[in-house]
Each structure stands twice: as C-alpha cells, then as structure tokens.
A and B are shown apart, each in its own frame.
Chain A
C-alpha cells in the first residue's frame, strides 16, 4: 500500500455540525477567529455509522442490537472462526483473521483485551492507519441569533406543558478536513486497498445519510485523495493551499469560490511522488484556477490529469 493524503470539504447550512456537550451543545468554535471546528471523532462516527448500515462487521458497536463488552464481542466474532481459540493466547493466524473481519479496526485502530503470542502486556493496541485532523471552516461563521425552541416534552411529569430549550445553529460553514493514510500503520491492521476504496465511498456518501434534526443540511463538496507512489512520503496539510474568495457573511455554497492556484502548484511540485489523484467534486462548489472556473479535473494541468481517478462513477 502507499501513503495517501486526504482533503475533504463539506458544508453545513442552518445546522450544527458538531456541538460541544459542555457548552450547551453550541457549535465548536475558535471564537477569536470566528472559525467553526469539527472533531475527528465526529467525522469518524459518520463513517462508522455508514459501515454499520452496510452491515459490515465493526468492533466498536453493538452485536445483534445488544451491547456487550469487548471480550464478549470478540468471543462472538470468533464463533465464526474454524478453530477454537483462546483470547488470552491468540495465535497469529487468528489475529489476522480477526482484523480481516473488522473494518473499523483496520481503518481507525482499536485497543483490544487480547493477549497475543509474542506481545507484551494484556492488550493489543492498533494505531489507526487512517487519521483525520480536526476540521475547521474556511469561512468566518455566525450563529443563528434566535436559538430558543419549544418542545412537546416536559422536564417532569408534574409539568403540564412542554419545555423551552436551546438549539444552536450556524448560518453557513464550509468545513475542511485533512486526513492521512499511513501505509506502514496499514501493515499492522491489515488495511487493504478495497478498504480504502470503501473509505472513499463512505466519506462522499455518509454525511447526507445522517439527516437527523441537528445534522440536516450538510453536503459533501470536494474530496481529494492524493495517493503517493511510495509508503513513506508525506506532503502535509492540503488545506493550507486553499483560498476562499468570500469569507464573511456567507449563507450558502453559491456565494463563494475556492481558489486553488496554490493547491495546483503544490500538486505539480510533488507530482513525481504522486501515483493517483482520486477526485470527487460537486460542481455546486466553484473551484477557480488561473481565473477559470471548471470541474476540478479539468482545471489540473495535463501531467496531473493523467493521474486522476474520478470517483463520480456508479459506486459513489
């Protein structure tokens, strides 16, 4: 496997992309800069929920609708394994088989209560090959001023009427994430190329599916996975090379453009190291390069276009 770096943009309109539970569930904010923040945990939860909906085996989740502890969960899993195994002395082939079952562990890692042959201590820790930094908005965001809502549900049985609560939303946030796939860590969790394709799919598809009351109004706009041609090269946070034309007072994706001149320069600069560029781009987000506005693939110079793998196809 090769290293990949991910640039993912999605937006949130009249919604709360990620509340801070200790702050009345207000959107996470860097208030001094009016920048909206979204935790890596939030993004990974969209992805994990997507895998669960696809009925893939996950480690961090329920088994048949029931919550069981990790030991029980693994015992359950190993019922499908050909041989009887002992979790306090897990042989290498069984460990590999286990990883091949659990998509979330292969992608994001886990700590498991397993004593394996040749390892120290009573647990196995896998560092996730796929890591996302916290997302942040490219624009300056503002809170919808009216934040009180009424509810039919009362706070106690004695109350005849419903209660009044708080519901904080942002007008508009264009959120950018930086992610990384480490080939070396992938060896440890047996992450396979088809898992990475599934990750591509999940990132592009999962967020609109999570249309709960507070998460409605969110759409993916741009996904770029720069796959390098070796397992050790890393270029760095691709968000640094985006320039948002209109940054304040935004209410929708139609009111701004992202200038990618610097991003293209960067990709050209490291093009010797690039194997493929996997792209999904919603044309609703206008990208501008050398004063032209087109779909991303067409904006790239020919040397980079050769390396593009479009994700517009049937699967995504």
Chain B
C-alpha cells in the first residue's frame, strides 16, 4: 500500500488550449497532464523548461477528476498581432482571436478539478504536501493561462492500492482509452445526461519543450465512467470513500 496526494484545483475561469487548434483557441474540458505537471513544478519552484524529466510518466503519477461539468463560452480577445517576436511590442497593432473559456456549471460558483498526484521521489512528494497544506506556493497556481488565477484546496494524503479488475468498475478520473478493455464501457441508458467525450491531450514534453506523446481519454458528463481497465488500476481511499483512478 502506498500513498497519493489528493487536492482540488479551483478557479473562476479556465483555458486549457488544445494543441491542435491554432487561430481559434479551443479548450479541453480538464487540465491535460502537462498542465498539472507544470502546476506542481511551479508550486515547488522549478524554473520554466527545467522540470519535464522530473515529471515524466515514469516519475510522476497524475490523475484528474472533473467535478461539475463546465460550460464553454467563446470570447474574442484583442491580442497583439505578431508574426514573429519583433512584433511583440504592439508594433503590428492588434488581432482578434476567438478563445474558448471554461466557466463553472450553473449550480456552482467555481470550477473544480480533483487532482491525484504521487511521485517516485518521496522527498518531492513530502515537500509538495507541506506546500499544499500551508498554501505556500513558489509560483502561484493557475488554470491553463497565467491570468486564470487559481486556488488549491488541500484534501489529504490518501492510501492507494493497485488492483486488477475482473469486471467493469466505476472509474472516477479521465480514463486513457488505451487502458480500457475493448467493448467494456457500460452505458447508463437510464441517465438523462448520457454524454461521453473523448479528449486527445498532450501527455508530456521532452527536455526541449516539444510534445513527446499525446493520449486519448474518455470522460462522461457525470465525471465517471463504468468500464474494465485492461491492467491494474488504483483504488484510493479518502474522506471515507473509495474511488478508482487511472493515471494519465
């Protein structure tokens, strides 16, 4: 049995730019693994472009739940027009870019993402835990863009256990499709909100900040799906409940 840090990332608005959109900035429904790794790196005080190896999938296990399905609103933003870096002082004037933002669902006043994080280096994990508990962040947390200021609610350091599934189980996090057994997703036909979404997101960067790998995830509007993981999954116990998670 090992432990995993559980905390919430919250904010009034978010923008997690899809890597395959350009002149319109569309957003994922949840932070990709790269964003969460960057968030943790910032909290710990790593400098930009200096932490990709530390948070590679071999070293860091990351999972995320969407709590409350966000709404998407497009606003056109007056950005600087820049074809290259010498234009970045407004010298070419402005350009209008449609940007899609996430807003909380109508019954909530903030967006909430539950993050599960553990690291091969116990010292790093301990340091992060202390910082999250004390609201002490080297660089401030945000949701995708620096202006989408965020807040972190510490939950607890939970126990987690690796388990093999013989049947479909509820999975409470974004589920990598390649980790699900084929034809094992159980549709809840009685749901009035049956809505599945597939998101193809960046997984991690190499040392030069180039995208190394993408991954496709399945998510349902209720925040969980029922399916059978191909291999082992993790069971996390916290706040008196048990949740099943798959790492991104």
- Chain A residues in the interface with B (C-beta under 8 A): 3, 20-23, 28, 30, 32-33, 37, 39-41, 59-61, 67-71, 73, 110-113, 120, 122-123, 125, 127-128, 131-134, 136, 178-180, 182, 184-185, 230, 232-237, 239-240
Contacts and interface: CB of A to CB of B under 8 A. Distances in A.
Nearest to A114: B85
A73 B89 contact: yes
Interface string B13-45: 100000000000000000000000000000001
A73 B87 CA distance: 10
B77 A131 contact: no
Given A61-B90, A234-B137, A236-B151, A23 B85 contact: no
8 contacts: A41-B77, A68-B91, A112-B88, A182-B139, A234-B151, A236-B151, A240-B109, A240-B110
B127 to A, nearest CB: 12
Contacts of B142: 131
Interface in B135-194: 135-142, 146-149, 151
Contact of A70 (B85, B98, B147): B85
Contacts of B91: 67-70, 73
Interface of B: 10-13, 45, 48-49, 71, 73, 75-80, 84-92, 96, 98, 101, 103, 106, 109-110, 131, 134-142, 146-149, 151
Contacts of B92: 69
Contacts of A132: 147, 149
B112 to A, nearest CB: 13
Contacts of B136: 230, 232-233
Nearest to A110: B88
Which of B10, B76, B88 gathers the greatest number of chain A CB atoms within 10 Å?
B88
Given A60-B80, A180-B149, A236-B151, A133 B12 contact: yes
Contacts of A32: 71, 106
A30 B73 contact: yes
Given A68-B91, A120-B49, A134-B12, A113 B149 contact: no
Contacts of A123: 85
Nearest to A104: B89
B98 A237 contact: no
Across the A-B interface, the 3 shortest Cβ-Cβ residue pairs: A236-B151, A22-B76, A70-B89
Contacts of A185: 139
B89 A59 contact: yes
Contacts of A3: 140
A179 B146 CA distance: 11
A232 B137 contact: yes
A69 B138 contact: no
A60 to B, nearest CB: 4
Which of B106, B131, B147 gathers the greatest number of chain A CB atoms within 10 Å?
B147
B12 A113 contact: no
Nearest to A35: B103
Nearest to A61: B90
Contacts of B49: 120
B25 to A, nearest CB: 13
A112 B140 contact: no
Nearest to A123: B85
A69 B86 CA distance: 6
Contacts of B86: 69-71, 113
A123 to B, nearest CB: 5
A134 B14 CA distance: 10
A308 B109 CA distance: 29
Given A60-B90, A185-B139, A235-B135, A133 B103 contact: no
Nearest to B134: A233
A127 B140 CA distance: 12
A20 B147 contact: no
A303 to B, nearest CB: 20
A113 B88 contact: yes
Which of B80, B85, B103, B137 gathers the greatest number of chain A CB atoms within 10 Å?
B85
B235 to A, nearest CB: 31
Given A127-B146, A131-B147, A234 B73 contact: no
Contacts of B139: 182, 184-185
B85 A112 contact: yes
B173 to A, nearest CB: 24
Contacts of A113: 84-86, 88
A128 B146 CA distance: 9
